[in-house]
Amino acid sequence: MSKMKLGVNIDHVAVLREARRVNDPEILQALFVACGSGADQITIHLREDRRHIQDVDAKNIIQNSSVPVNLECSINTNILNIVCKLRPHRATLVPEKREEVTTEGGLDVFGYEEEIRYSVEQLHDSIIPVSLFVDPTLLAMEKSRELGAEMVELHTGTFANLFAMLHSSLPYSNHSVKELELPRYELSERLEKSIEDIKNAAKHAKKIGLEVAAGHGLNYHNVHEMMKIEEIIELNIGQSIIARSVFSGLADAVKEMKRLTTRS
Ligand code: PXP
């Protein structure tokens, strides 16, 4: 089996910082802790609305990271110009909608074919390899190859949601109430199909010369399913790692403040 690379998405640390507009928690500290704890890659998303990572964060992270930085971005011209100047180790093109809570679904590689082709060329001109964040379908693999990408990142959101619905005490997002009303056997069938789709897409992508990553909604409960798919060589994970870190760190944080606020 090939080695799996873990890309740690640290956007969520910037979400917390931006909620108060202070420099706490510090994004560079998150970078150093993640790198020092085994992350093989750092993933960040420079969104058009700058709701978390800012331009200066991207610059500092790329300059200071001891591991490759995978910069996610949309196909917006202004953003692409910035990304070309930042020169990350790789750019991952993702769809972006202003009103979304997080990236919902893969890139529409058919609807925006020409725009994506142009974006890939622009990034290649700046010697930046490109990954496309796409839904796990054979047609999307074919199209990604044709558009000139070196890599695809398979969107695992559908799988993650179905997995969480079946194990209902687990966190999930983006579910529809309609799906929650489905009988368990049907949820189970859909989950199996979502895993098959990822498997088939990964196999096909590798066969036609694409590297394969996967991400979105992966967590401590469901990640083992992705580990079984040997064509997947990289996972990008954010929310669950940062969420876990709150509880693995909260006790110490409270104890330290209690110590500082105790009068003898
Ligand atoms: N990969 C891509 C392309 C993403 O857009 C995201 C979400 O920012 C992730 C991976 C990480 O997803 P999550 O935060 O659900 O682990």
- Element spanning 212, H or E: strand 211-215
Mean pLDDT of the chain: 94
Q: What's the length of the chain?
A: 264
- Element spanning 16, H or E: helix 11-20
pLDDT, one tens digit per residue, over 238-247 is: 999 999 999 9
Give mean pLDDT, residues 90-116. Answer: 87
Q: In this structure, which topology does domain 5-260 adopt according to CATH? A: TIM Barrel (3.20.20)
pLDDT, one tens digit per residue, over 204-238 is: 999 999 999 999 999 999 999 999 999 999 999 99
pTM, full prediction? 0.94
Measured CA to CA, the distance from residue 94 to residue 79 in angstroms comes to 12
- Judge whether 154 and 201 are in contact, CB under 8 Å: yes
Give mean pLDDT, residues 119-145. Answer: 98
Measured CA to CA, the distance from residue 147 to residue 113 in angstroms comes to 8
State the pLDDT confidence band at 183, using cuts at 50, 70 and 90.
confident
State the pLDDT confidence band at 102, using cuts at 50, 70 and 90.
low
Question: Measured from the CA of 94, which atom of ligand 1 is nearest?
Answer: 3
**E strands within 83-210?**
90-93, 130-134, 151-155
Residue-level pLDDT at 191: 96
**Most informative mutation of 151, 236, 239, 240 for ligand 1 (most atoms within 8 A of CB):** 236
Is the CB–ligand 1 distance for residue 45 below 6 Å? yes
Question: Measured from the CA of 153, which atom of ligand 1 is nearest?
Answer: 3
**Percentage of the chain exceeding pLDDT 90:** 88
- Judge whether 80 and 73 are in contact, CB under 8 Å: yes
Question: Measured from the CA of 216, which atom of ligand 1 is nearest?
Answer: 12
**Most informative mutation of 71, 102, 152 for ligand 1 (most atoms within 8 A of CB):** 102
Measured CA to CA, the distance from residue 141 to residue 146 in angstroms comes to 9
Please tell me the residue having the least CA distance from ligand 1 atom 9.
Answer: 216
101 Cα to the center of ligand 1, angstroms = 11
Residue 170, pLDDT above cutoff 80:
no
| Per-domain residue ranges of the chain | 5-260
What's the CA dihedral at 14, 16, 19, 23 to 10 degrees? -60
- Element spanning 224, H or E: helix 223-227
DSSP characters for 56-102? HHHHHHHHH-SS-EEEEE-S-HHHHHHHHHH--SEEEE----TT-SS
Is the CB–ligand 1 distance for residue 217 below 6 Å? yes
Active centre residues (catalytic): 45, 72, 216
Question: Measured from the CA of 239, which atom of ligand 1 is nearest?
Answer: 14
Is the CB–ligand 1 distance for residue 92 below 6 Å? yes
Residue-level pLDDT at 105: 84
Give the least confident one: 48-57, 132-141, 172-181: 172-181
Residue 261, pLDDT above cutoff 60:
yes
Please tell me the residue having the least CA distance from ligand 1 atom 12.
Answer: 216
Where residue 61 falls (left for φ over 0; alpha for ψ -120 to 50; beta otherwise) is alpha
Return the SS3 of 118: helix
Between strands 90-93 and 5-9, the pairing is unpaired
Residue-level pLDDT at 181: 72
State the pLDDT confidence band at 114, using cuts at 50, 70 and 90.
very high
- Judge whether 105 and 155 are in contact, CB under 8 Å: yes
Measured CA to CA, the distance from residue 89 to residue 179 in angstroms comes to 39
Is the CB–ligand 1 distance for residue 234 below 6 Å? no
